[in-house]
Amino acid sequence: MDFFVLETNLWIWQGLSFIVGLSLFGFWAYALIDVIQSEFRFPHEKLTWILFILLLPPFGTFLYLAKSRTSKKRRKFEPNFSSNRN
């Protein structure tokens, strides 16, 4: 079985579909890693997003990337400049 059929112009479509599939896989991997490393406001949200991304890969991935900013905890910047040195 040949991966690329060079006699016809199918190799263009095969190459484009490979690039699209590779980019979808990249978005999927990024979303999955991001949801695992992030902290959410409610504990069940992480499991919900993981299941959504794994069970509906294209739809769940792009929905997570579009909607996750509103459900993540915001990290507070609280520097401690006071030193305990005498």
Which residue in the block uniquely carries the two structure tokens 């794994």?
54
Q: What is the model's pTM?
A: 0.68
For residue range 13-60, list pLDDT tens digits in order.
888 999 999 999 999 999 999 999 888 888 898 899 999 999 998 899
Contact between 75 and 42 under an 8 Å Cβ cutoff? The reply is no
Does residue 12 form part of some domain? no
Task: Name the domain count of the chain.
Answer: 1
The closest of 48, 41, 49 to 72, measured between CA atoms, is 41
For residue 62, is it within any domain? yes
Angstrom distance (rounded) from CA 19 to CA 73:
34
**Domain residue limits at 39:** 26-71
- Give the number of other CB atoms < 10 A from CB of residue 3: 7
2 domain residue, yes or no:
no
DSSP code per residue over 28-42 = HHHHHHHHHH--BSS
